[in-house]
Amino acid sequence: MVLTLREKRSVHDRPTFAKAMARRKKKTVRKVRVAHELPKRRRMAIDEAMKAHRTEDRPEWDRTSDWGDVRFYRKRIKPGTLRTIHLPLLNVSLGDAWPVPVTIIHGARPGPCITIIGGIHGDELTGPSACTHLLSNAFTDEGKPLDPKSLAGTLRIVPVVNLPGYRMKSRYFPDGRDLNRQFPGDPGGSTTRRVAHQIWTHLVEDSDAIIDIHSAAKGRTNMPQVRCDLTHTSSYLLAKSFGIEIILDSIPSKGTLRRTGNTADIPVVTYEGGAADTLGDQSVKVAVHGVMNALRSMRMVPGNPQRPKFRIMASGSTWLRAAEGGLLDMFVQAGSVMREGEVVATISDPATPGMTVDIVAPEDGLIIGAATNPFTAAGMPVGHFLPISKHFALLEEQIDEHGQFIVNGSQEERVWREEHEINEISLDGEWSGGEVDSEWIGSKPTGDEKEFEEEAA
Ligand SMILES: [Zn+2]
């Protein structure tokens, strides 16, 4: 039997990747410590979802199953080969169809179909860079981790899905819309909606899991973190498999790839790291590391995933806002571990020399996002703060000489840790101001997009 991507499309055979995860679980004894600090209702919803979650049998992923060519956009890829195919974002006979390169590593052995997406926002370069590393010879050559001859399943890597935006160095599509608010799209809708539909049809619908790589929007930077709706169990498992310390439990905005994917019961997580228009070594390294961890967890590539020492599952964060306007002088960065009362930033005003105002950490915690634009008005967010009072000692054990939290995967050292050695922590609270990133509004909302501009990440 030839198993094509088309044939795997049914939503009903979905839930997942969980089988591969279940295989792992059998090997290790799970003894994960959870501090019950999530709001009770949320905690119960997550527990209920986990209980209801069934590990579905996917016999077609068994090593002995028939495994043949895979199709992508009318092209055929043989098992054990890698091929780059251009997917036109628009179905047109005239004008630019915006062909986007999609590399398909079709493994020699059966397994799930995983899609890694970078550059939904054209000015966010963490995804494009991480995907490019994953496609380099260091990963895909014979004997390397993504050698198609040893890979199980199908890996599709799209370094820059919003190629028109990338070429304009813009977050948006040429029609001014945010692609990540237009899913599942519409073949007869606006330009960006048509593109979203094309991406949905060819890259999303038939994926067994999706990792969507982002960075912060212009004017700020994020420390590496994963965002996921923890009540969507297969996404929760995917988030854990990434092997990162900070997981934000957040319900994404309408029209995002993550929300729409979850609605179709596809596990989707968003990785956030670094800033727009820049390339941070740490955020790229953690992204590559996380993707490889997820693939190892799903048994697509051999080896054991590298686990963090602990996980912080957070359902609330705080915005540190400027009380005055002027020029912002940041004392800390995204990833800085703060003690209550420590100075985060100082604001001074060229019109009033000699006077400064400090912004201090309201309690012990972590700066997970920081402003990079010094122009500040009263009320503008300076930092995105995760209060971590009770489990502060865990953070302190993992900081460098500058007080920066050392994220798993950002160092060369690769220590494999068993699942049962991880302390899992939940944080209580509400996202201030709606969505996780609601304060950081994109620079160019147009017309009907305004209402969808909430989570500018
Ligand atoms: Zn983004």
Domain regions of the chain by residue span: 6-309, 318-407
Greatest Cα pair distance, the chain, in angstroms, is: 77
Q: Are 203 and 119 in contact (CB under 8 A)?
A: no
CA of 125 to the centre of ligand 1 (A): 9
Instruction: Output the DSSP codes for 307-372.
Output: PPSEEEEES-BEEEE-SS-EEEEESS-TTBEE-TT-EEEEEE-TTSTT-EEEEE-SSSEEEEEEE-
CA of 217 to the centre of ligand 1 (A): 6
Which of the residue ranges 285-294, 313-322, 414-423 would you say has the lowest mean pLDDT?
414-423
The class that CATH gives domain 318-407 is: mainly beta
Q: What is the pLDDT of residue 12?
A: 42
Query: Amino acid letter at 415?
Result: V
Q: What is the pLDDT of residue 66?
A: 84
* Domain 318-407 in the same topology as domain 6-309: no
Work out the mean pLDDT of the chain and round it to a whole number: 86
Judge residue 65's burial from the number of C-beta atoms within 10 Å of its C-beta, 0-12 exposed, 13-18 middle, 19 or more buried. Answer: middle
| pLDDT tens sequence across 89-145 | 999 999 999 999 999 999 999 999 999 999 999 999 999 999 999 999 889 999 999
> Which two three-digit tokens encode residue 247?
């997981």
Which of the residue ranges 164-168, 227-231, 240-244, 433-437 would you say has the lowest mean pLDDT?
433-437
Q: What is the pLDDT of residue 241?
A: 95
Q: What is the pLDDT of residue 81?
A: 98
Q: What is the pLDDT of residue 57?
A: 77
pTM equals 0.84
CA of 33 to the centre of ligand 1 (A): 32
Distance separating alpha carbons of residues 209 and 75, to the nearest angstrom:
22
CA of 178 to the centre of ligand 1 (A): 9
> Which two three-digit tokens encode residue 447?
């017309």
Q: What is the pLDDT of residue 65?
A: 79
| 434 pLDDT higher than 90 | no
Q: What is the pLDDT of residue 27?
A: 47
Q: What is the pLDDT of residue 47?
A: 87
Which of the residue ranges 7-16, 318-327, 419-428 would you say has the lowest mean pLDDT?
7-16
| pLDDT tens sequence across 54-75 | 777 788 888 777 899 999 999 9
Q: What is the pLDDT of residue 13?
A: 43
Q: Are 122 and 162 in contact (CB under 8 A)?
A: yes
DSSP assignment, residue 199? H
CA of 32 to the centre of ligand 1 (A): 31
| 300 pLDDT higher than 90 | yes
CA of 276 to the centre of ligand 1 (A): 8
Q: Are 306 and 418 in contact (CB under 8 A)?
A: no
Instruction: Give the number of other Cβ atoms within 10 Å of residue 154's Cβ.
Output: 28
Q: What is the pLDDT of residue 8?
A: 40
CA of 216 to the centre of ligand 1 (A): 6
Q: What is the pLDDT of residue 50?
A: 87
Q: What is the pLDDT of residue 316?
A: 81
Q: What is the pLDDT of residue 400?
A: 93
Q: What is the pLDDT of residue 420?
A: 56
CA of 234 to the centre of ligand 1 (A): 22
Backbone angles phi, psi at 456, to 5 degrees: -80, 75
CA of 71 to the centre of ligand 1 (A): 29
CA of 363 to the centre of ligand 1 (A): 28
Q: What is the pLDDT of residue 9?
A: 39
Report, as an integer, the average pLDDT of 238-263: 94
> Which two three-digit tokens encode residue 47?
């527990």
CA of 218 to the centre of ligand 1 (A): 10
Report the relative pairing of strands 209-214 and 268-275 from DSSP bridges.
parallel
| 36 pLDDT higher than 60 | no
| pLDDT tens sequence across 370-402 | 999 999 999 999 999 999 888 888 888 899 999
CA of 171 to the centre of ligand 1 (A): 8
Q: What is the pLDDT of residue 153?
A: 97
Q: Are 276 and 213 in contact (CB under 8 A)?
A: no
CA of 349 to the centre of ligand 1 (A): 31
Report, as an integer, the average pLDDT of 12-28: 50
CA of 253 to the centre of ligand 1 (A): 12
| pLDDT tens sequence across 411-425 | 844 333 445 566 777
CA of 359 to the centre of ligand 1 (A): 27
Strand order, beta sheet including 356-360: 356-360, 343-348, 326-330, 375-376
The residue that leads in pLDDT, 43 or 173, is: 173
| 368 pLDDT higher than 60 | yes
457 falls in which pLDDT band (50, 70, 90)?
low
Fold of 6-309: Aminopeptidase (3.40.630)
Dihedral angle sign, alpha carbons of residues 19, 21, 27, 32 = negative
Which of the residue ranges 22-26, 87-91, 95-99, 304-308 would you say has the lowest mean pLDDT?
22-26
CA of 296 to the centre of ligand 1 (A): 25
Q: Is the peptide bond preceding residue 184 cis, with omega within 30 degrees of 0? A: yes
